[in-house]
Structure 1
Amino acid sequence: MTKFVKIALAAALALGVTATTAQADSRKGQKIFIKKLKSPCGMNGDKFAAKHSQDEWKEIKDSGNFENEIIKICPKVKKGSIKKSWQGHLFDFAYEYANDSGNVPSC
């Protein structure tokens, strides 16, 4: 019985760790925006995120047009230059600081 409990606890711990790292993060999105998109966009993160409301950002992401919307807002950004691994973080950043959120980023 104790062997089973140890295996169950180890599995739960492993699952908890992998689930946490798989989630997107608005702070990471802000760092990615500052490092990779601020210059080509020619605007700060607050102006970028405020281009849409939270519902609009969610609709854009759900329709699969998030990268295209970034390119539309920032014409100097080229198709394919936004890595898939960045998109979740960038979405969380845009959603967190959308024009109807009341939040203002520090970038």
Structure 2
Amino acid sequence: MKHARRLATVTLSVSLLAGTAAALAPTASAASASTCTYNLADFDAHVDGNGINYRTGPSTGYTSKGFLFDNDRLRVYCGKGNWYYTKLTHRLKSDLSAGTYGWIRSDMLLHLAG
């Protein structure tokens, strides 16, 4: 009987800890620079296109923060696959505030020297 109680207590403790870890895990919308798999020498870039989604993470599965437009300026910090983690440094048409961080596909940018 003692062993059964101990086993039940251990099982309950493990399941509670596992549930807490799952509850504390970040959501897909919480992706940040920590999601990057490679670093880049910081460089500036211009958006090449209109109505480009500025996303919360490095894929189309993440939500859009808003849209970027031709010649909006970004500072690029790091990447994952063909996505770059950036900061909007100067906006021309975008409703997003300068200083907003987000993800954009690398082929939507014109790269400039850092």
Task: Tell whether the structures are fold-level matches, with TM greater than 0.5.
Answer: no
Q: What is the TM-score when the length of structure 1 is the normalising length?
A: 0.40
Q: Which has the higher helix share?
A: 1
Q: Which has the higher strand share?
A: 2
- Report 1 or 2 for greater relative contact order, CA contacts < 8 Å, sequence distance ≥ 6: 1
Larger of the two Rg values belongs to structure: 2
